[in-house]
Structure 1
Amino acid sequence: MKFKNIIKISVFCFAFGNLSAQNPWPKTTEAAKPWTRWWWMGSAVDEKGLDKQLTTLSEAGFGGVEIVPIYGAKGFENKYINYLSPEWMKMLQFTTDKAKSLNMGVDMAVGTGWPIGGPQVSEQDAATKMIVQTYEISPDKKISEKIILKDEKQKNLKTVKLDIVTAYNEKNEAIVLTDKVTQDGILNWKPTSGKWTVYAVFSGKTLQKVKRAAPGGEGYTLDHFSPDAAKEYLKSFDTAFGNSNYGIRSFFNDSYEVYNADWTAGFKEEFKQRRGYDLSPYIKYLVNDSESEMAGRIKSDYRETMSELILHNFTENFTNWAHSKNSKNTNQAHGSPGNLLDLYAAVDIPESETFGSTKFDIQGLKRNLEDINTKEVPDINMLKFASSAANITGKPLISNESFTWLTEHFKTSWSQVKPEAEQIFLSGINHIFYHGTTYTPADVQFPGWLFYASTNFVPENSLWPNIKGLNSYIERTQSVLQSGKSDNEILLYWPVYDQWASPKGKDMTFKIHNIEKWLHPTVFYEDLEKLGKAGYSLDMISDKMISEAKFVNQNIKVAEDGGFYKVLIIPELNYLPESTLKNILELAQKGASVIFQSEPKDVPGFFEFEKRRKELQEAWKTIAFQQNVNLQSANFGKGKIVLSSDIEKALEFLKIEREKLTDAGLKFVRRKFDGGKYYYIVNHTSKEINQNIPLNFMGNQAALMNPGNGDFGIAETQNNSVRIQLKSGESLIIKASEIQDRSIPKWKYVERADAPIILNQPWQLTFKEGGPELPKSRTLDKIQPWTSFTDDASTQSFSGTGVYRTSFKIKKNKADDFVLKLDKLYESAKIIINGQNAGIVWSLPFEINVGKYLKKGKNTIQIEVSNLMANRIRYMDQNKIQWRNYHEINFVNIDYKPFDASGWKVQPSGLDGEIQLIPVYYPK
């Protein structure tokens, strides 16, 4: 009997106890890894170079590249390849084949440089602008001069056309005279009384060319509002690609940076069809800066028409074309004169952009004011335009052009990149594209070819040996954020008509570079900020999306694969279309909960606005509000409508719960999957957080997952809360599941730590790679940066990897683990203990668990520190060594002035302060 029991126990242990724990991390994909914008300078690429760089990127943990050809380097003109030529397509095919063999993906821009355009853009399809000329006429007199375009730059164009001629007298009475102008410009009309001003509107061209174009990509910028321009433009790709997509995953279009494009051929007819009236009698209100209500209404209609044209004539055509190639498309809507939410929603992969540096409260995070552009600060709420559109319409990927001008060239460390990436993730984005990497031929010396506005994610970067640390972090995080679906509970309406109704200016572009003008001053933005900090999760919604919304399973839902939402909030606003209010009330009728921060004041636009205003007012009166202490509420059909200036009180009234973990200063984004939810949580505060945090969803089991190193374990829970330990700058993922998995071990909480072992003995310092030359080896009495040794000039100019080595003894110790803590690290390090690779230290806090690599008695430690490129570039500029050698913009600094590092201070490099081994204990 005993023997049988022993056998049974042994079998049980073999079957269960000795198996590795179930790994809760989602299976990674190429899309979960970071991708990079890959500039082909002059498209001077060859198979050998492509093979080498793709292999290098793959080994460093990249999942894909996005090809953007740009201007070339001087001296390599004979290697330039014309864009879309047979030779260029051959290089593309080689790239996608090689990438496929490495399990990488390839995207490409539909154009070179930016914005979209090129030699295939005819004058007719080029970006178009309105040109206005005015003339004065006295009674009984004709205009002595012909009504012809005076702009010398436009005179030789064949497509210039007179679109509108309208005269106004002192009483503001208007007469449309367009058909009174002969073909040669003579106006056959004279007034019988009063003074008149004639407005002549011509359809001209902006003459803007593609910026930073590559060979074969030069030409006019595209007219995004023309019904035919995009189709004609894409025909050149049909010719080059034939029936194949050449392995392209997604075709990419950069941000809209088309200047002065405020018109298109046929705009007048489009306007009348869409807005219900002829613009001609009101053209004065559009082209002048008047503060009148009429000007605001006309301009609102004009801007709404521009928005519809770019949506239907460019964006939707672009999507349909990509699908015809069995590919996806990626589009940056920001900068467009249109409703960003609708434009982002009309493509497969909406893409946002970060530009500049954010101030975080993380302990020890470097942010030197001389190395950043203080005018450009990424804004999480701007990023949410892209993620909102994707979440509402069910797009699985939301990408981001990341880290443009994060700091001055050559001064960005991976530790500075991490919190910016986290802010991107917290906005709901889940697919990062580095900005970026430049293709460099093998025979080009340090620093290789570089793009003038990027953070240099290039193999020539002296920080490259440790980029795998950053990439692995992003890969683990994105594997979670690409799983399941977004789990936001609130829809917040974007009152775009309040923007469009501004009587100032003419066209209105919603750029990331001027959010202080169009976004920050609004109540809408104030609501975004307050709700986010209070712990609510939200997406922004447009009028079009509201019109498509349904009430399904006790939630608001817009698209088949889109998110479910508990409440729709209409922020304080001036203008709301009566049609949108009717759609909102219909949702409430069917059961939806709606919060109005104020009563809508008016309808936008000019057409029958008094009639439509009355419809708005009548629809509003159908809501029978009752006073409830500090708010008003009404049962409306099966739903409920609340009116309150305090949105948080209204949400409490509707029993919409916030996530209280934000009270501790934590930030989060939430995803749901079958049977549970993920919480991605970040500590951007200056303090350590060691406490139980409440969660709205707990399930039956909470697993903690560390995206920094891949560790995982079952969390301690109590009263709908989870215990977490997060130091300043750290992040964590909580997987709350209905199903319990007993194969997962318990999470290792640090219960206590003994006094640290200070490694203050002598160290050996050697140098293994880098330049311009390797400094000499030396023995250090104590840890210090190699830049502190001014007796060796090479230490001041060296960029590369320095190796600190020492040995130490550990007596018998009952500690469960040891944490290696680096006081000051410039900038990242690979840790080798007793000959074993213990990992990479690259982000704050500069700590790593190393207990499993230590042994009783003598131990050796090797810390391989890689520093910034800055000191070597400083040396090259001081010694006038040529490395900036490009056509077009030949390198600029962060303030867009000529780049010169010769006056820089030496950047500290290596290790400083104490090196500690901290014994830690985990609860049994």
Structure 2
Amino acid sequence: MKKRILCLLICAVACAHAEPPGGGDSAFRFSTVAEVQRYLAAPPDEARPMVRWWWFGPAVVKVQLEREMLAMKQGGFGGFEIQPVYPMELDDPARGIRNLPYLSADFLDAVSFVNQKAHENNLRVDMTLASGWPYGGPHVPVTEAASRLRVAPVTLPAGADSVPLPPIGSGEKLVATFAGAGDARQFDATRLAMIAPVLANGRAQVPPAADERVVVFYIASRTGQQVKRAAVGAEGFVLDHLSRTAIDHHLRQVAEPLLKAFGDQPPYAVFSDSLEVYGTDWTDDFLAEFQRRRGYDLTPHLPLVYGGQGPDAGALRRDWALTQTELVNERYLTPVDAWAKQHRTRFRSQTYGEPAVSLSSNRLVALPEGEGPQFREFSFTRLATSAGHLYGRNVISAETWTWLNSPAFAATPLDMKVEADRMLLQGVNLFVGHGWPYTPPGAQEPGYAFYAAAVFNNHQPWWSVMPDVNAYLQRTSYLLRQGEPANDVALLLPNNDVYAESKPAKVSLSAEMHRHVTPVVMEQILDAGHNVDFLDDEALRDSGKRYPLIVVPHATRMSVETLERLIKHVRGGGKLIAVGGKPSLAPGYLDAAAQTKRVRQLSDQLFALPGVSVVTEEGALGAAVGKAIAPDFAVASQAASIGFIRRKLADGDIYFIANTSNREVRTSARIAARRASAAWWNPHDGSVTPATVRPSLELTLAPYESRVLVLSDSASAAPAPVASRIATVADLGGDWQLSFPGAGGALAQPRMLTRLTSWTDDPATRYYSGIGIYSKTVKLDAAQLQAQRLTLDFGLGTPLESSPKVPAGMRAMLDSPIREAAVVYVNGQRAGAVWHPPYRVDVGKLLKSGDNRIEVQVANLSLNLLAGQERPDYRLLWARYGQRFVPQDTHLISPRPSGMLGQVRLLSETLQ
């Protein structure tokens, strides 16, 4: 046995220093409970959260870059993604501010320096293959810029035999011309006929007619979109993601110089942000590619596609949109991923948005990444995690905390946990925090902030608990990489219907899928005691993963091949529920009548099988799910508040369970998995205590509390504890000394408080951001120390009903009794951090008979300091570089309550 453990440890160490396998798998991925528990107390560094590191300008200097990297490591982050963005200041030699043009020698030298220092400090480095987003820049000529089809109608007066051509500029080309009844303001697209006018001297010659008509020109054009938030020297067109020529040019001009700066130590991954190529729906050879793939010429049908009229418009648009997905897959995702592999790195991609990539497009990238905490709705995050589950990408990241508790500097550690838990519930197991703003030396506190993001660097006073926050995120990420994903329900995304509903200049599966995968559909499945993966036609065909239950929400168009696979799924013992009705139409246009006939035959055949049902009303889905398969984790009450996700081990199961609400939950849960024993694995400190799950699991969860339950085939050596009796040992609500060492002067001297109030109530500390030290001496006798557990309790917090002042993102809907975090010391020793409910710290091991010195170091927000300052004047910056950003929600900047505000008590806990 000792030899086996030694071999496992040697293997783990070797794996930690080896190149991780393709697909972003984890070197520390285990299959048994004992193996997983071995790293519970000290999870591997690869599970640490990362941050997006914004380089503004970029005006960076090496000494500060190194300082910030070391601060990241000290705070528990495992690495960073370099993201050069817009300038924050003009060049100022007196202050050492110099904006380094993107891809200049000085900029690339800074990249090389950071890479070297990151490797010395065991920090992961990812590099964005562009500045800002989407990919593009000054190297993109108009002929390679993001493309669209422009529709230009012109009224042809009665008897006229020519009309002026619409202006056709650089990068544009006339594709087709149609004529018919109507005028430029209103016409029936189904009655237009394609014509071939003679073009001369800027006019189109057409046969005259007695009535007024419309001539409609279809012009291959460009969106004109510019790179968003570009660094100095990175301005330019967004490139055409459907063009291999444009992608190859970008890789040569941008990606190659960037990778050379890394020398013989390439970045762990290269990154692409979400696809936000607004307005694109075309590329230069679209018609030829369409005919090759779909089997017919789209040209005669352009009026129906771009006008949306007629019974065939939906089928035509489905084919038109699907072709765009295929092109972006083959010409963007595939070559960039291949390029990354060729350069000994990996492609990390947020594969959603515009153009219309699909769930299965994620199979083409090594590291899928999501965004969005919408656990109980359709979300981009679940697209990425589902693709990971389907295609064997075990490590799945998410851009996290975007727009968290706006404005900047308002986010708290609890806010971080609330959003992170919703990411974990969707299957995320690597956090990329959004983010870390580089701040130059000498900048006025609290430093820089990205225009639309929270700040998670050491300019926040609550940085003192960042190691504790990151330890929680690291441990939960590690645990949710173990074994195999175990969701029993899959939602088959009706891609064909969404394609058919697509509109010109707005072709996106992810942006429109919520019309079919509604919040009610998601809630009904989750509240029935299941977590859920998304599935699409390609994954059903290719992934090899099978689910006990497939739910088909509001699907009308379905291919013959998919229906045949669903029949095979049911005949193999699987269940199926359709929401809204049965599929009844062929997906596309070619041979639609015959295909539709076959679709209806197969649909009738499928829905005649045992185990298949239709629910016409979404609200009936939960009952149908419960009838089809037994719940995995069924709570007796308050189901909407409780989320869970399960990972299956060879000899056990890992359940991450979270109260996603701002109120305490008291309920019980029935667990389908049958194992010999159960234990709670504390995600904050790695401690383990026995649990009882039969006949049911009793659950008491504080607001936003999360736990990890592990079931094992091995019998437990210790009995599970029963309910505790809690009593108050001492009320510590008054007579604290408070000082502000960071404020200097009189504020640094201790003063006595008879009651606990917010620092903002005092004009002297209204705009103070930093740490306030509360201290007092508590006398205890030996009898008071006999309890099995002694905790310092700071109160419950106050639930908020609504938060109208946060226009974007999310926040914890709870006013904490500690604003916003604290570190507790007892008799000079660190007892723990306080930043999330329940607001308690175990202090029993540090207390003694007699006098005990208790010190609570409370940290608030940098927002308070910011509130006492004038907003920056960007007038000259914008005059020089253009208005590349607008800081979000600055009108909401005001001092927030600060300090220790709850009922502080010393509690004893005795097991009954």
1:892 Cα deviation after fit = 4.2
Distance 2:632 2:571 in 1: 25
Contact 2:633/2:669 (8 A) holds in 1 = no
1:449 Cα deviation after fit = 2.1
State yes or no: 1:203 paired with 2:220: yes
CA 579–696 in structure 1, closer or farther in 2 if over 3 Å, else same: same
Return 648-657 or 708-717, whichever deviates more.
648-657
Aligned position for 2:849? 856
Correspondences of 1:499-510 after superposition (within 5 Å): 499-502=498-501, 507-510=506-509
Pick aligned residue for 2:547 from 565, 586, 589: 565
Contact 2:163/2:204 (8 A) holds in 1 = no
1:576 Cα deviation after fit = 1.7
1:908 Cα deviation after fit = 1.7
Distance 2:155 2:125 in 1: 59
1:739 Cα deviation after fit = 3.0
Counterpart code for 2:533: D
State yes or no: 1:736 paired with 2:718: no
Pick aligned residue for 1:388 from 377, 382, 386: 386
Gaps of 5+ in 1: 1-20, 359-376, 549-557, 626-632, 635-639
Correspondences of 1:268-667 after superposition (within 5 Å): 268-290=287-309, 292-354=310-372, 379=377, 381-407=379-405, 408-502=407-501, 507-510=506-509, 518-522=512-516, 525-548=519-542, 558-559=543-544, 563-589=545-571, 592-597=574-579, 598-623=581-606, 625=608, 633-634=609-610, 641-645=612-616, 646-661=620-635, 663-665=637-639, 666-667=642-643
Contact 2:737/2:753 (8 A) holds in 1 = no
Distance 1:382 1:538 in 2: 14
Contact 2:378/2:519 (8 A) holds in 1 = no
- When the two chains are superposed, the root-mean-square deviation of aligned CA atoms in Å is 3.0
Contact 2:376/2:519 (8 A) holds in 1 = no
DSSP-derived class of the 1:917 partner: strand
State yes or no: 1:134 paired with 2:153: yes
Task: Write the deviation string for residues 519-545 of structure 1: whole angstroms up to 9, x where unpaired.
Answer: 444365532221012111221111222
Aligned position for 2:8? none
Aligned position for 1:231? 248
Correspondences of 1:98-137 after superposition (within 5 Å): 98-137=117-156
Pick aligned residue for 1:696 from 660, 666, 672: 672
Pick aligned residue for 2:88 from 73, 78, 82: 73
Task: Write the deviation string for residues 474-503 of structure 1: whole angstroms up to 9, x where unpaired.
Answer: 111111112222111122111122222237
Aligned position for 2:804? none
Contact 1:806/1:862 (8 A) holds in 2 = yes
CA 890–853 in structure 1, closer or farther in 2 if over 3 Å, else same: farther
Aligned position for 2:896? 907
CA 90–426 in structure 1, closer or farther in 2 if over 3 Å, else same: same
Give me the TM-score of the superposition, normalised by structure 2. Answer: 0.85
Percent identity at matched positions?
A: 27
Task: Write the deviation string for residues 62-94 of structure 1: whole angstroms up to 9, x where unpaired.
Answer: 011011001123243662223233333332222
Contact 1:289/1:505 (8 A) holds in 2 = no
Contact 2:312/2:589 (8 A) holds in 1 = yes
DSSP-derived class of the 1:612 partner: helix
Contact 2:775/2:856 (8 A) holds in 1 = yes
Pick aligned residue for 1:33 from 35, 40, 48: 48
DSSP-derived class of the 2:44 partner: coil
CA 890–775 in structure 1, closer or farther in 2 if over 3 Å, else same: farther
1:911 Cα deviation after fit = 1.2
Gaps of 5+ in 2: 1-35, 183-187, 796-816
Contact 2:333/2:365 (8 A) holds in 1 = yes
Contact 2:831/2:843 (8 A) holds in 1 = yes
CA 593–191 in structure 1, closer or farther in 2 if over 3 Å, else same: farther
1:825 Cα deviation after fit = 1.1
Distance 1:489 1:280 in 2: 45
Contact 1:403/1:417 (8 A) holds in 2 = yes
Aligned position for 1:167? 179
DSSP-derived class of the 2:830 partner: strand
Contact 2:340/2:347 (8 A) holds in 1 = yes
Return 52-61 or 101-110, whichever deviates more.
101-110
1:460 Cα deviation after fit = 1.2
Distance 2:597 2:533 in 1: 30
CA 749–432 in structure 1, closer or farther in 2 if over 3 Å, else same: farther
Distance 1:712 1:59 in 2: 26
Distance 2:875 2:429 in 1: 35
Counterpart code for 2:243: S
1:52 Cα deviation after fit = 0.9
Contact 2:266/2:343 (8 A) holds in 1 = no
DSSP-derived class of the 2:868 partner: helix
Distance 1:786 1:269 in 2: 68
Aligned position for 1:3? none
Contact 1:494/1:524 (8 A) holds in 2 = no
Distance 1:894 1:79 in 2: 25
Aligned position for 2:775? 805
CA 245–678 in structure 1, closer or farther in 2 if over 3 Å, else same: farther
Distance 1:184 1:774 in 2: 84
Counterpart code for 1:388: S
Counterpart code for 1:777: Q
State yes or no: 1:51 paired with 2:66: yes
Counterpart code for 1:37: R
Correspondences of 1:713-732 after superposition (within 5 Å): 713-719=689-695, 721-732=696-707
Return 445-454 or 577-586, whichever deviates more.
577-586
Distance 1:293 1:245 in 2: 58
Instruction: Say how many residue pairs are matched.
Output: 832
1:120 Cα deviation after fit = 2.2
Contact 2:395/2:481 (8 A) holds in 1 = yes
1:695 Cα deviation after fit = 1.3
DSSP-derived class of the 2:598 partner: helix
1:339 Cα deviation after fit = 4.3
Distance 2:222 2:286 in 1: 14
Counterpart code for 1:607: L
Aligned position for 2:31? none
DSSP-derived class of the 1:769 partner: helix
Distance 2:161 2:851 in 1: 103
Distance 1:642 1:379 in 2: 23
1:807 Cα deviation after fit = 0.1
CA 534–199 in structure 1, closer or farther in 2 if over 3 Å, else same: same
Contact 2:308/2:314 (8 A) holds in 1 = no
CA 850–352 in structure 1, closer or farther in 2 if over 3 Å, else same: same
1:613 Cα deviation after fit = 0.6
Return 701-710 or 134-143, whichever deviates more.
134-143
Aligned position for 2:731? 758
1:127 Cα deviation after fit = 0.8
Counterpart code for 1:251: V
Contact 1:787/1:906 (8 A) holds in 2 = no
State yes or no: 1:796 paired with 2:776: no
Contact 2:655/2:708 (8 A) holds in 1 = yes
1:46 Cα deviation after fit = 2.6
Distance 1:662 1:110 in 2: 49
1:402 Cα deviation after fit = 1.3
Contact 1:725/1:749 (8 A) holds in 2 = no
CA 882–806 in structure 1, closer or farther in 2 if over 3 Å, else same: farther
CA 890–214 in structure 1, closer or farther in 2 if over 3 Å, else same: closer
1:800 Cα deviation after fit = 0.3
State yes or no: 1:834 paired with 2:827: yes
Counterpart code for 2:757: P
Return 654-663 or 695-704, whichever deviates more.
654-663
Distance 2:106 2:43 in 1: 35
Aligned position for 1:782? 754
CA 891–853 in structure 1, closer or farther in 2 if over 3 Å, else same: farther
Aligned position for 1:555? none
